[in-house]
Amino acid sequence: MTESAAAALTWQAVPDLAPAGASWPVEATVAGIPLLIFKTKDGYRACEPLCPHQQVPLRSGTLMNADTMVRCSRHNFIFRLTDGAGVNCVGMKLKVYPARERDGRIEVALPA
The CATH class of 3-111 is mainly beta
Q: Give the Cα separation of 84 and 93 in Å (integer).
A: 5
Question: How confident is the model over 46-85, as pLDDT tens digits?
Answer: 999 999 999 999 999 999 999 999 999 999 999 999 999 9
DSSP 78: E
Question: How confident is the model over 90-104, as pLDDT tens digits?
Answer: 999 999 999 999 999
What's the predicted TM-score (pTM) here?
A: 0.91
By the 10 Å C-beta count (0-12 exposed, 13-18 middle, 19+ buried), 25 is classed as buried
Q: Where are the domains of the chain?
A: 3-111
Rounded to a whole number of angstroms, the distance between the first and last alpha carbons of the chain is 15
